[in-house]
Structure formats: C-alpha cells, structure tokens
Amino acid sequence: MNAPENLKYAKSDEWFDPATGAVGISDYAQNQLSDIVFVEILVEEGEELTVGKPIASVESVKASSEIYAPASGRVSAVNKGLSEKPETLNSDPYGEGWMIKLEGGAAGDLMDAGGYETYCEGRAH
C-alpha cells in the first residue's frame, strides 16, 4: 500500500494535501475498487464545502462509491480530465488522479500516513 507521508487521510479513504489543497482517493481505495471505469465530480469551482459533503461518484467493474470531502473550504479547481480518463485513479491516485483542490479551509479528523496504514491493515483482517 502506498500512502505518501505529506498527505492526510480520512477513514472513508480520501486523501488531502494540506500544502496544495488537492483531494483524491487513496491507493488503498482504488485497489479495493479495482478497475475504475467512471468518475463524476459533483462539485464546481467556487463552491463552499464542508467536511463529509459528497464531492464525486466513482464506479468500477466491482462497485460504485461516493467520495466525500475530507476538508472544508472553497473549491479552487476541478480535475475535469478524470471523467474522460477514469483509469487515471488506478494508475496515479496521488498525482494526476486528484479530484478537486480546496483553499481557505480546514482539514477534518484526518490521520497521518502511518495511522492510515495501520487503520487499513486492521480492516484487511
């Protein structure tokens, strides 16, 4: 499992980069979903978000899943390219697979990388 140290993680498997405001799904989440075939971003630039608000819907060959905001703030960017290339979430969940960027907000109750890895290991048993 890949969990970059610079990111914060929600128990619902979203990541948040406090430095850039980027939000996406974790490597663990994309691995559980398997081959992602559809992504719909549900928020728009300029929208104010609170922690826990649905920001995207993701479908894979195995399941569909709602993605939630791990932090509050104003949406400053939306990765519109994901709807055309949803497989990016499988190949690069922490890079080109970002979903939205937030500014001016605060992170919710998030874990550091070590805490998230321990949390995921506990779920696998």
| Band (106; pLDDT cuts 50, 70, 90) | confident
Which H, E and C letters describe 21-71, residue by residue? CEEEECHHHHHHHCCEEEEEECCCCCCEECCCCEEEEEEECCCEEEEECCE
Confidence of residue 105 (pLDDT cuts 50, 70, 90): confident
Instruction: Quote the CA–CA distance of 24 and 69 in Å, as a whole number.
Output: 9
| Domains observed in the chain | 8-118 (2.40.50.100)
Instruction: For the full predicted model, state whether its pTM sits above 0.85.
Output: yes
* pLDDT class of 100 with cuts at 50, 70, 90: very high
Q: Please tell me the distance from the alpha carbon of residue 59 to that of residue 115, in angstroms, as a whole number.
A: 27
Q: What is the pLDDT of residues 62-75, one digit of tens each?
A: 889 999 999 999 99
Two tokens, residue 10: 């929600």
